[in-house]
A = this chain, B = another copy of it.
Amino acid sequence: MKEVTLKQIAENLGISITTVSKALKDYPDVSKKTKTLVKQEAKKLRYKPNVFAVNLRTRESKTVGLIIPEVVHHFFSSVINGIIEQAEKKGYLVIILQSNESYKLEKKQVDLLISKRVDGIMISLANKTVDISHLKRVKELEVPLVMFDKISKLMDCSKIIINDREAAYTATKHLIDSGCKRIAHFRGALLPQNSIDRFLGYKKALEDHGITYDSSLVYICENVDYEDGINAAKKLLEDHDDVDGIFAITDLAAIGAISVFNERGIRVPDDISIMGFSNWFVSSAITPSLSTVDQPGYEMGVKTFKLLYKEMKARRKNKEFEPKTVELETRLIKRNST
């Protein structure tokens, strides 16, 4: 099938390519009559502009890049959802890349997106990301950039986050309020900011309520997943028989713990209370249903793209853009595990 080009239309109509181009884009200096003629012909031939040529001329790809640690993850899936929806509204396509929590891969992905000349990049950092030189490069090249959820405080760019410390504080306080005296924490890896912040919120809540912080009650869940939760729970049962509450960094880890307790006849919440984090929809499906903190993934996606869009718009007009940090609300959700 032969491609339809401006030239084609111009020849059919016996006018110049210039005029055809202008007519299709509704330039004010083309007569109404010509416009109608051109548009009609374009429709008839099913003309579609060749984006490759348009990109080259306009220096824009109308495509944005998204780098996340993992696609197969309820929270990120929701974020993707929000981003794609907004992007489509504005006529942007989203290229999604997965870092698999690897620093090396993440760097490669950034390079890939840059070489594809995306108009902007959104990123949530891998757990293993140790420095941000690759992001500094994005800034140098003046490619708009927004970080979300897993951010680096060192990077000067727009950010969409939740207040992890506060949310963790509230979650821990909820355990205390429901009578827990010995509260363990399943935390994430040591590097990620949100893992640190949730840990600090947990610690602060204990201290503010006269409970001595005991580091032996903190277990590291490297991948914050179901398996990790199972393992941490098993170890906890070996180490401590007096723990009556757990604040887990993710619902997944919490659910892992619950499954261990269910199996061993340990009653939740009578013997031990459990708090998750994320409000994955499965949390309400398990038995007992899981108390957790609602983390607004979809909203985060929406806000992330919107902020990126603003920056891209400013960039296009060569205007200055002042990076912004937006903090989204979280919400404690009480169910049957506490």
Residues of A within 8 A of B (CB): 1, 48-53, 55-56, 59, 61, 63, 71-74, 77-78, 80-81, 84, 88, 93-98, 112, 114-117, 140-142, 226, 255-256, 259, 262, 281-282, 285-287
A98's partner among B51, B84, B112, B287 (CB-CB below 8 A) is B84
With contacts A71-B84, A84-B96, A285-B259 known, is A59 near B52, CB below 8 A?
yes
The docked-state distance in angstroms from the alpha carbon of A10 to that of B39 is 43
The docked-state distance in angstroms from the alpha carbon of A255 to that of B286 is 9
Q: How many copies does the complex hold?
A: 2
Question: For A51, what are the chain B residues with a Cβ–Cβ distance below 8 Å?
Answer: 115-117
Q: Is the CB of A259 within 8 A of B287?
A: yes
With contacts A50-B117, A77-B77, A281-B226 known, is A94 near B95, CB below 8 A?
yes
Closest chain B CB from A224 CB (angstroms)? 14
The docked-state distance in angstroms from the alpha carbon of A93 to that of B61 is 14
Question: For A73, what are the chain B residues with a Cβ–Cβ distance below 8 Å?
Answer: 77
The docked-state distance in angstroms from the alpha carbon of A140 to that of B61 is 26
The 4 closest A-B pairs by CB, nearest first: A72-B77, A52-B56, A52-B55, A71-B80
A1's partner among B52, B56, B141 (CB-CB below 8 A) is B141
Question: For A226, what are the chain B residues with a Cβ–Cβ distance below 8 Å?
Answer: 281, 285
